Chain A
């Protein structure tokens, strides 16, 4: 019954095939990119056809509709990253294989049912990203890669320690066994604490978020786009899974803790995003704030919240991809930094690009008729159902600050002035159109997507 792993197998074969293609083809060839795109698309197509629920290896591999949703989200991020980076001269022949490998890591985190697989997925996700983050041959690029590596290693160490304590406390690696009666409570609490640190670091929750702006700013834009969506999908999926499967009995106390962190993250992320002048840093801080929104759903430790958290990843991901696409178009081949000032007059110079950016900002700000509104609506419902009124209020306050964050660039776009302009490629055009239409579609007619995602997060033992 390896049926349900087929998308992941296709993706894994795709990594290898892309690697071989990169070895054979000349360094300026787009063949590896095509390989990556075709295999990702094939895996996506296979994943969208699956309806299975199987637990393999004593609960170590959990193939269910939840893991399929994670796989779909990740593959979307991978394909968007590939399309944005469709320039072998600049990003090199290894780029597609590394990006796919990172994506595979996020997928593993989606179906991981025990600590070993969780760690494996986390490292599979992180290691290629360390390389990719450093792939710009500028001081900023090197700084980004090194910082990411150092901090990633540090947090992985903490996570591993937490995993060891959990194993010590329960004698098992599998999540579902953590709820068993013969556990050592002290070890469990410490183990969960350290495990959370590692995962919250990847999700960029305050105070484990400090790496985000520097790394996003220094990484190539397609990599930053993938990190903003793919990494968060992997981390949030694993976090939700481990808490729902392993710690549903102690939900009341980790829920409260995560609720505090969510409020802190939402407020701090949006507050610090406010004065940013560099667009990539602004998006990085927005990513921090949005991670806080996702955490609201997880913290509310009920069915509604889990569903809302999983669903919110999609509106957020589409909007952030859209925004990074605009950055990619505007920075051009020279990768000159895009600041708020370089947006001046964009609405008149490149109206279609401006429309795309506008949709992204409206969705991130949570304006109705965009996907972001639907996502936030369900998050608030989850928080209220959990009786976490403070968290709900925090979300609303953060959204108000967020309005200012996202309308400042929009205002610049309509201000007169001479800013940057850039040329569309086929890849950026496709991502822009798909993400913008997707955002509006979900905003206007959420039912089909919402239904598919919500059905897959039926962790009925969360109440």
Chain B
């Protein structure tokens, strides 16, 4: 318990101190202070992991209640924390990758006037995310969940002078709130049925509860709605690409490495519930595979480097949900970990490029940058190889684990979609790499002024590049480490990593190689422009993410606005009548004022009348 509180306290301290003293702090100090606190949290997370490892495997949980939050609405609700092997993986990634991104931000945000506010909000995010992961019951998790949404909102809208940033922040918040509502309803259902929301209590009750298929299906679906919104699953993926309006380190930390994987965490955490609602798991897997393919096709046609990476994030999240949906929990966590490395790396390297090109994000103005920025280019290449699933790099291991298990559990169609998407991934990621770093510079002026990023920015890039290359070899260790989490309660039969048939691997890798070759041929040999293919129908539709924004506007936003307009009229009338009541009350109250005459004899009369009434009442009642 002790370590958990301190892990949470450090970033919270940073958020509070930076938020309170942001105008008096010397400028470079804010970033250093914020980074040191996250480093401290990382070291503590490491110590907590070691302490966890000392426990016997069957009891590998550190949990407890800080205090009773409230009672009187039924059974008491505690502020409970909970650390098990899976949560410890998440804390390590959040604080570790978070620390690297904090360091990177020292360089990236060096010239921003509001950097203290930036670091305060970044620390607030780290705290919220840790709270989400370390929560010991679903209510604390929901608080962390909502706080994560809040800090994401604040950071997307960090440059609130830009209308587009404000709109993007609002969009992210609204979509996320939709998911929060689903979760809240699920929590109420669970609390009403089991009288507890703590993991231990709830999972214990689930282990031997009477079958009620509809109840569990509904609860799981509602919780999945929350996961869907947070993790940008189709059709709630619409906010993530717009969220790229935030500063690039934010995109790396929140909208790639950590926050968007909260949904994966939630679903993996609730595996005993999912075991009681098998249909929901299938649905999650199908939607995940669909999202992976869908987002990959959109990513192929993006012009903006960050938007391309954002759709690639959506696609990779689809893989993770495919994994947890079919019950391959360790594979899902494994892919989350690898994705945190290589996707953070991609964003940081992209950020360095954007920084070097004075804020230019259009790949049409890039090209040939490897000569100017060798470190960044090498890092980006490592991450691209990893995400494309080239054997030996980290992404290969985790993606193969997911696809292999899809075959093993009897989902050949999901495997096929995943393998095809893997080829597509290799294509669009190498497209980005070739357009940005190789070929001829397309904007000579920008190219002349480009320069390698300072060491505070290249340092994290190099560290993440090393992790992206070697990360895959953590797999076996991870499998053993996570076993206690998924054997604690019944319901996770195929959680462990499994290898698929060799032919399947060969097909997936072959498709990836074809994708790379295609990208090479189109964008290096034939030097196609960045927006080629978007003039005609399928490409144009894909570039506009197959019209999902328009669909949302037509099916939801516009009808709701029409309803709102109509209700405004109703409300005007209603409020008008209420105001009439109010005026009446006010007039009546004014009438009452003359009773207060200021004459003592009148006051005493009132006391006497009161006494007489009181006495009369008593004597009559007697």
- Interface residues of chain A, those whose CB is within 8 Å of chain B, are 147, 150-151, 154-155, 158, 185-186, 189-190, 192-194, 196-197, 200-201, 206-208, 210-211, 213-214, 253, 257, 268, 271-272, 274-275, 378, 381, 401, 404, 445-448
A-chain residues with CB within 8 Å of residue B590 when the two chains form the complex: 275
Q: Select A155's contact among B69, B598, B600, B607, beta carbons within 8 Å.
A: B607
Query: Do B621 and A197 have beta carbons less than 8 Å apart?
Result: no
- In the bound complex, how far is the Cα of B71 from the Cα of A445, in angstroms? 11
The yes or no answer to B567 lying at the interface (CB within 8 A) is no
Interface secondary structure of A, over-half rule: helix
Q: Which residues does chain B contribute within 8 Å of A189, judged by CB atoms?
A: 618-619, 621-622
- The answer to whether B582 and A404 touch across the interface, beta carbons within 8 angstroms, is yes
CB-CB < 8 A to A185: which residues of B?
622
Q: Contact between A207 and B618 (Cβ–Cβ < 8 Å)?
A: no
Say yes or no: B611 contacts A158, CB within 8 Å: yes
Contact for B618 among A193, A272, A274, CB less than 8 A:
A193
Interface: B604 (CB within 8 A): yes
Determine if B570 is an interface residue (Cβ-Cβ < 8 Å): no
Chain A residues, Cβ within 8 Å of B69: 445, 447
Q: Whole-angstrom distance from the CB of A220 to the nearest CB of chain B?
A: 20
Asked if B585 and A274 sit within 8 Å, CB to CB, the answer is: yes
Q: Which residue of A lies closest to B597 (CB)?
A: A210
Known contacts A196-B614, A197-B607, A208-B607; is-contact A447 B68 (Cβ 8 Å): yes
Q: How far does the alpha carbon of A93 sit from the alpha carbon of B425 in the complex, in Å?
A: 83
| Residues of chain A within 8 A of B622, CB atoms compared | 185-186, 189
Given A150-B604, A158-B607, A193-B614, 6 other A-B residues pairs in contact with their CB atoms under 8 A: A186-B619, A189-B622, A190-B619, A197-B610, A197-B614, A207-B609
Is B59 at the interface (CB under 8 A from chain A)?
no
Q: Across the interface, do B618 and A147 meet the contact criterion of CB distance under 8 Å?
A: no
B607 cross-chain contacts in A, Cβ below 8 A: 151, 154-155, 158, 197, 201, 207-208, 210
Docked-complex contact A447 and B589, CB < 8 angstroms: no
Q: Which residues of B (594-622) have their CB < 8 Å from a CB of A?
A: 596, 598, 600, 602-604, 606-607, 609-611, 614-615, 617-619, 621-622
State whether B618 touches A271 (Cβ < 8 A).
Answer: no
A-B CB contact pairs (8 Å), 17 listed: A147-B603, A158-B607, A158-B611, A186-B619, A192-B618, A194-B615, A196-B614, A200-B610, A206-B610, A207-B606, A208-B606, A268-B592, A271-B592, A401-B585, A445-B69, A447-B68, A447-B71
B97 → chain A, closest Cβ, in Å?
32
A272's partner among B593, B611, B614 (CB-CB below 8 A) is B593
* A271 with B617: CB separation less than 8 A: no
Partner of A271, one of B67, B585, B611: B585
Given contacts A193-B615, A253-B618, A274-B586, are A214 and B598 in contact (CB under 8 A)?
A: yes
Cβ A151 vs Cβ B589 within 8 A: no
Q: Contact between B618 and A190 (Cβ–Cβ < 8 Å)?
A: yes
> What chain B residues lie within 8 Å of A207 (beta carbons)?
606-607, 609-610
Is B588 at the interface (CB under 8 A from chain A)? yes
Docked complex Cα distance between A404 and B578 (Å): 12
Taken together as a complex, chains A and B put the C-alpha atoms of A201 and B72 apart, in Å, by 33
- Which residues from A are CB-within-8-Å of B593? 272, 275
- CB-based closest 5 A-B pairs: A210-B603, A207-B610, A189-B618, A274-B589, A207-B606
State whether A151 and B603 are in contact (beta carbons under 8 Å apart), knowing that A189-B622, A447-B71 are contacts in the complex: yes
Separation of A211 and B145 alpha carbons in the complex (Å): 52
B20 interface contact, C-beta 8 A:
no
